[in-house]
């Protein structure tokens, strides 16, 4: 079975860490392109066009928004689902204003400042001085670049509220959340797990938003086991 991976904003395929080789031991893996569309719907359509007729799906952060859109458009094609560090609601006024602030900074040539502002909420507080980890995050942000960041930001701001459709998701679903995630909350994780029939919630302790990089062995094992259970 093919597993399709779609990651979050500012992140590249390097974000998958040990999860990528662990999944490749047993599955074909497709790395979805989230850098060339200015809507979540466009990202979902690009993913569906590149994926086989039936596949397993992992959505991380913004990739979770894409996964929800895939399930709205083609639920019959997704066999098993994993949602990492993501949330179902769309943005409220406060979130929109924060994103507009990021856009203004980037448009004024201060993309690097946006990256540095976001790093503290991407990792566990104890890892904010972890130079190798932060080096990976900064390299991914540099590879993403300002223009792609703006495209992703606008797509996120215009995304649909996925909460009304949670009960319609019928594929087996794993929800993974880091206890010290600075972006998504326990309420976000339990809302998804409680809304999708039969979903399983796994909380990764001592971990922030980037579960695949902060707790690579744990996350890789959970994902490999989840997609090998069927």
Dist. CA 118–CA 62, nearest whole Å? 15
User: How much is the mean pLDDT over the chain?
Assistant: 96
DSSP 144-165: HHHHHHHHHHHHHHTPPP-GGG
Dist. CA 154–CA 58, nearest whole Å? 22
pLDDT at residue 118 tops 70: yes
For position 186, which CATH number holds?
3.40.50.1820
pLDDT in tens, 93-105: 999 999 999 999 9
Q: Does residue 130 sit in helix, strand or coil?
A: coil
pLDDT band of residue 230 (cuts 50, 70, 90) is low
Q: What is the sign, positive or negative, of the torsion defined by CA atoms of 139, 141, 147, 148?
A: positive
- Whether 27 is in a domain gets the answer yes
pLDDT at 166: 98
Angstrom distances, CA of residue 1 to CA of 29, 104, 141, 226 = 9, 43, 31, 13
pLDDT at 229: 73
pLDDT in tens, 166-181: 999 999 999 999 999 9
- Whether 218 is in a domain gets the answer yes
Write down the pTM of the prediction: 0.96
- Whether 42 is in a domain gets the answer yes
- Whether 179 is in a domain gets the answer yes
Domains in the chain, number: 1
Percent of the chain, pLDDT > 70?
100
- Whether 53 is in a domain gets the answer yes
Domain that holds residue 189: 2-91+156-228
- Give the E-state strand segments of 42-169 in sequence order: 55-60, 78-84
Average pLDDT, stretch 137-141? 96
- Whether 57 is in a domain gets the answer yes
- Whether 115 is in a domain gets the answer no
- Whether 173 is in a domain gets the answer yes
């Amino acid at each position: 079975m093919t597993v399709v991976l779609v990651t979050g904003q500012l992140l590249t395929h390097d974000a998958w860490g040990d999860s990528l080789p662990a999944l490749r031991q047993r599955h074909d893996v497709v790395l979805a392109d989230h850098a060339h569309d200015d809507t979540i719907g466009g990202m979902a359509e690009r993913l569906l066009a590149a994926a086989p007729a039936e596949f397993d799906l992992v959505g991380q952060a913004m990739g979770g928004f894409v996964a929800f859109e895939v399930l709205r458009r083609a639920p019959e094609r997704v066999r098993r689902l994993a949602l990492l560090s993501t949330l179902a609601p769309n943005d409220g006024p406060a979130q929109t204003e924060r994103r507009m602030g990021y856009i203004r900074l980037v448009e004024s040539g201060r993309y690097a400042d946006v990256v540095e502002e976001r790093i503290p909420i991407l990792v566990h507080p104890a890892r904010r001085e972890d130079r190798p980890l932060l080096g990976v995050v900064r390299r991914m942000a540099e590879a993403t670049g300002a223009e792609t960041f703006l495209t992703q930001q606008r797509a996120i701001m215009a995304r649909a509220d996925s909460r009304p459709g949670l009960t319609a998701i019928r594929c087996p679903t794993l929800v993974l959340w880091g206890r010290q995630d600075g972006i998504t909350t326990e309420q976000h994780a339990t809302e998804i797990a409680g809304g999708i029939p039969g979903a399983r919630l796994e909380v990764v302790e001592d971990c922030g938003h980037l579960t695949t990089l902060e707790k690579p062995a744990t996350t890789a094992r959970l994902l490999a086991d989840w997609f090998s259970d069927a």
